[in-house]
Amino acid sequence: MLWVLQLKFAIVAVVTGVVRVPTMKPTKSDLNVQSAIPGPSGIRQEVRCSVRFPLALPVVLTSGKSELTALTRNVSSSGVLFALDRELKVGLDIRFSMRMPGNVLGTPHDVLVHCAGRVVRCSLSQHQYLAASTIDEYQFAEQ
């Protein structure tokens, strides 16, 4: 059975009807909420609406018939930052699956989560691209 839910506030695992919130502690910098108002230098700052968890998980991104391997850098309830070897176009609709560690979700086993979202930014950082994607919907795969 698949559970289809809109992910808004926390990454949760649905296991026999029980909802659990992750127990992994975020880093201090992940707790900072930044303003969308231009700062003193006139540069707009990013608004964070969710705590980011530093997780390096292998994923395969799909868009249409194209597939691309990537590694997550961090995961939040509303999005994911991927490290990959090529640029993704902003606005691109993508699908990906992540095997979330049970110890992060507070479950006895890892949980496979199928996600759909869209690329909101992509930039070159040293030798790899970093692409940020929303998580607009997700499904837990029963195992």
pLDDT per position as a tens digit, 77-134: 899 999 999 999 999 999 999 999 888 888 899 999 999 999 999 999 999 999 999 9
DSSP state of 102: H
What pTM value is reported for the model? 0.67
Domain architecture of the chain: domains with CATH: 2-23+50-141 (2.40.10.220)
d(CA 53, CA 104): 9
Beta bridge partners of 121: 132
Over residues 27-86, the pLDDT tens digits come to 444 443 333 445 566 665 555 567 888 999 999 999 999 999 999 999 998 999 999 999
For residues 130-142, average pLDDT? 92
d(CA 136, CA 143): 23
Q: Is 20 helix (H, G, I), strand (E, B) or coil?
A: strand
Phi-psi group of 124: left, alpha or beta (phi > 0 → left; psi -120 to 50 → alpha; rest → beta)? beta
Residue 15 pLDDT > 60, yes or no? no
CA distances 70 to 9, 65, 90, 94, Å, are 25, 16, 16, 12
C-alpha angle 83/77/52, rounded to 5°? Answer: 55
